[in-house]
Structure 1
Amino acid sequence: MVLTAMLAGLAGALMSLEFSLPMMPPFYKIDFSDVPSIIALFSLGPVSAVLVEVIKLIVKVVTVGTNTDYVGELANLLGIVLFILPTWFVYKKMNKTTKL
């Protein structure tokens, strides 16, 4: 639980370091805030990865607010869940373990 909270805090901090893509609409932004959720996915499982994302979005809404009436945050959550779950299923299908 503590590792999930720490990764969510890191993701919230990384989300504030986003930047726009040149010659693209201003709502296309690059940020590296999904990396902690991938770390949580492989180390703790898919539930923890989704919780990292949910907490990250709550931190963003509380600190920065929203200018999309929560549509952008919902799309971000849906996009990362649609990235996390197939990644987890492929990882489990390959029978990879964290043993050295």
Structure 2
Amino acid sequence: MSGADRAGGCGGWPLFEVFVRGKRGLNHVHVGSLHAADAEMALHAARNLYTRRNEGVSIWVVRAQDVTASSPDEKDPFFAPSGDKVYRHPTFYPVPDDVPNI
């Protein structure tokens, strides 16, 4: 059950997306959503819901309405412009024979 399900609507409180950075990871990972009156309340609720076993070292909460994302349906046209930049790929550069990995 997600934090949003537990909130039960919460009288029109905004929805927040929760990201946690684990002890071993370098990146914040989306772990769920919850409703809260404000960002500070969302941060405390996220800590209680998503880091009960001390698995996090950092939490981000972001209002869901403030998240802008690309659509998987637009994957090809959205990411296609980077495909024609051959200098971004290691095949463009000569690799010395004594270099085992890039």
TM over 0.5: no
Whose strand fraction is larger, Structure 1's or Structure 2's? Answer: 2
Q: Which has the higher Rg, Structure 1 or Structure 2?
A: 2
Whose helix fraction is larger, Structure 1's or Structure 2's? Answer: 1
* TM-score, normalisation: structure 1: 0.29
* TM-score, normalisation: structure 2: 0.29
